[in-house]
Structure 1
């Protein structure tokens, strides 16, 4: 099978590049590229280099800064195969159906993506305590150009729960703030980077398998504490293969990209899709504690207004690794 030979060649390239600073672009023949693209639309296949996935180094750039985990470079198949269970649930659950048809392929077409360099991802979603610390800093407004803002999450909301009711601009402001404070480059992950980190070498609906199970993530009916705190404290569920917690469930996480109801079929890089810096709709990922399990699938993506401070919207940042981790 030509698609299988393509995956084997990618495995070999990944193995040969271990320890290098930059992962070379994939070198597949035109026939291999076409076969892998076609087969991946229908079959789950497997992720290239899945056996090489490992938890990364954990570090923090400052007191109160998010803990970061280094995620290794790699190749991966972005999106879901056409017949993945619940892939089209949103089409039929939000009438009228004819208005939802344009979103039917929001998880496709599936494509190969090249993550060229290591990146550090927030180990957890940004917590309420971390957000409050940034808002209490007298330098916040001077750095970000935005007045301090504290979401109204209730008196019983704990500092170790994710900061919610945050929009895309809030996420950008926090990235700018941390960059200024640490001298490092913090930013939102791109759509492709986020899914690479969430999947951690898997092709199943969730990183742990095709069924949501119980106590793997925070979503409606997914964990024993639902109906009590509803939003879980960060890090309460097992980490994925990279050592990241709560990528699936708990809070929807903003990414850099403008939202389009499909993936670019020919794009190989993990660069963000931003045809217009002022696009009205930005992408969120990962599902949330206040949503159903299918929304926590690794491939699921949706595009609210960039200024939407919904109850379930959270932040996870990446830090570029141009300089060594502290």
Structure 2
């Protein structure tokens, strides 16, 4: 049965390697991608079924081992009793040499043999259980690999849908239309002709747009957004085919019009009801040169006289709201502000400040959940220990104790993210503003001559055709892409990270370690219950993950602090590299540069084998109070 299960799992993995060779952003059709997705979904379901068998085997073997150990206690008691019985018979033999002791001797022999067989069974069960758990850990890594491949296809399908709609709209067509007008007595013949031709061109343009919406593949979806659409039509040229005046003062004209359609800016995403990150920015038409586009792909007026209403709410009474440094009193409040950027800070004694920068291009609302500050470290205090030689340790941020909700709260999570639950941080701590960098790790290696597992064993894993494969030439110095000292260190295992943190503890006389999963999710959420600390949509260019719109996406790690910090002052809690945690299993959190946005959600848990290292795995330091 063990061999059969392994064959099933290896077969699933092999199919994934062969069936998924898609490279991001290639020109695959929606239909071909959907066929691949259907195949990948079936492959994933088969793998999950195989994984379920393996989980059952582990559970059964654990139950068997517990029974054997319980049986061992009973057999020990039976052996002791058999020995007592035999000793009594030997004592009786002194008084009666004819006494028959064969039966009690045999009973004692059987008790010893039964105990020996039980111990052998325990030994074999322990070995088998350890083997099964290793296979289960590897299978969990492969499950994430398949999940990522599936998410890649989902992303590519959306990108292909956007491209298909643009191709369907950005076409040229020549239409012939006839228009008849009654010439007004107050206008000249020339004016009547011009008006007739203009109406004919407008008629042709409307027909052209209607045809674009009607003939689009996803016509029913995009027509729901047609009334607010900014789809454009450009008149390339027109030609009058015939024209005549009637005796009743009517003018009739037949013209041929060549038209071209376009979907400006992010219109395709709006029509398809998609995140704007799937639509790349296009050059603004000359007629819109006075208009800017913000990071959320929305228009902003340059006219500072334009005012919008900002409403600010929080979940606490007696707070104070500062906008651009000016106090506006407590929430709830509404204030009219000019279009553009504004810094909003909500404060209350005993709570963390809620800081938010908002760019107003419409009436907006801020809803803040203030986090109670029960800390010994100063609230948001920046801490940096000094190492020997006056070198600086990692930059840390003071974090308060508190309660929060962790796990999948949006219903889109994997099984190991559920159920969502309340969690509590009892003691304050300090945690790295950023992931440990190449420069940080270089200090450690220079001081200790430490050699990582990747350098002493078979290298570091990287994705090859959708699968993590070890490459003997890859390690933290050479992860397969260019890195500077300000990039997060990768190709380090759980053992390597703990070695670095032990050295850091020794040199600073402080207690450094990896954060546990509760601590990690607490700081990563920063008071949010959404998929990401800023909301439920990954947005565009907000993090370094696959299809997330940054220049590093799907290519490499990015320098730390390349994106905005969350509300606790931490960088890259979404994407860049997976971060190891201090758990009873080896679990990484946060997503990475080559994993899709859905797998960078705050609640996602990547279970790994001990000693696993890859060029998308790093860590963050925590210092206890």
Match of 1:298 among 602, 612, 617: 602
How far apart, CA to CA, are the structure 2 residues paired with 1:211 and 1:50?
19
| 1:14-45 deviation per Cα after TM superposition (whole angstroms, max 9, x unaligned) | x99939xxxxxxxxxxxxxxxxxxxxxxxxxx
1:289 aligned partner: 593
Contact 1:187 / 1:318 at 8 angstroms: preserved in 2? Answer: yes
Contact 2:555 / 2:594 at 8 angstroms: preserved in 1? Answer: no
Point out where structure 2 has 5 or more consecutive residues left out of the alignment: 1-314, 317-346, 352-367, 374-378, 457-474
| 1:267-317 deviation per Cα after TM superposition (whole angstroms, max 9, x unaligned) | xxxxxxxxxxxxxxx110000011111111000001111201111110101
How far apart, CA to CA, are the structure 2 residues paired with 1:107 and 1:73?
23
Structure 1 or 2: larger helix share? 2
How far apart, CA to CA, are the structure 1 residues paired with 2:487 and 2:537?
25
2:432 aligned partner: 122
For residues 179-218 of structure 1, what are the structure 2 equivalents within 5 Å?
179-218=505-544
Match of 1:245 among 571, 574, 580: 571
User: How far 1:73 sits from its partner (Å)?
Assistant: 0.9
| 1:164-197 deviation per Cα after TM superposition (whole angstroms, max 9, x unaligned) | 0111111111110100000000001011110001
1:311 aligned partner: 615
1:175 aligned partner: 501
How far apart, CA to CA, are the structure 1 residues paired with 2:584 and 2:615?
21
Which gives a bigger RCO, structure 1 or 2 (Cα 8 Å, sep 6+)? 1
Question: What's the TM-score once normalised by structure 2's chain length?
Answer: 0.36
User: How far 1:153 sits from its partner (Å)?
Assistant: 2.3
1:59 aligned partner: 383
How far apart, CA to CA, are the structure 1 residues paired with 2:348 and 2:563?
33
Question: What's the TM-score once normalised by structure 1's chain length?
Answer: 0.67
Contact 1:252 / 1:312 at 8 angstroms: preserved in 2? Answer: yes
1:50 aligned partner: 369
2:484 aligned partner: 158
How far apart, CA to CA, are the structure 2 residues paired with 1:123 and 1:291?
22
How far apart, CA to CA, are the structure 1 residues paired with 2:551 and 2:437?
19
How far apart, CA to CA, are the structure 2 residues paired with 1:147 and 1:183?
29
1:134 aligned partner: 444
Contact 1:151 / 1:166 at 8 angstroms: preserved in 2? Answer: no
1:46 aligned partner: none
Aligned residues: 239
| 1:91-118 deviation per Cα after TM superposition (whole angstroms, max 9, x unaligned) | xxxxxxxxxxxxx2x1112221110111
Point out where structure 1 has 5 or more consecutive residues left out of the alignment: 1-6, 9-14, 20-48, 89-103, 260-281, 322-326
How far apart, CA to CA, are the structure 1 residues paired with 2:553 and 2:569?
28
SS in 1 for 2:398: strand
- Pair member with larger Rg: 2
SS in 1 for 2:370: helix
Contact 2:517 / 2:581 at 8 angstroms: preserved in 1? Answer: yes
Contact 1:56 / 1:71 at 8 angstroms: preserved in 2? Answer: yes
How far apart, CA to CA, are the structure 1 residues paired with 2:594 and 2:495?
22
User: How far 1:224 sits from its partner (Å)?
Assistant: 2.7
For residues 70-89 of structure 1, what are the structure 2 equivalents within 5 Å?
70-81=398-409, 83-85=410-412, 87-88=413-414
How far apart, CA to CA, are the structure 2 residues paired with 1:318 and 1:65?
12
How far apart, CA to CA, are the structure 1 residues paired with 2:582 and 2:402?
20
**Taking structure 1 as reference, are residues 238 and 156 closer, same or farther at Cα in structure 2, changes over 3 Å only?**
same
Q: Considering only aligned residues, what root-mean-square deviation do their CA atoms show, in Å? A: 3.1
Contact 2:523 / 2:568 at 8 angstroms: preserved in 1? Answer: yes
How far apart, CA to CA, are the structure 1 residues paired with 2:510 and 2:382?
16
How far apart, CA to CA, are the structure 2 residues paired with 1:125 and 1:196?
16
**Taking structure 1 as reference, are residues 17 and 162 closer, same or farther at Cα in structure 2, changes over 3 Å only?**
same
How far apart, CA to CA, are the structure 2 residues paired with 1:196 and 1:256?
14
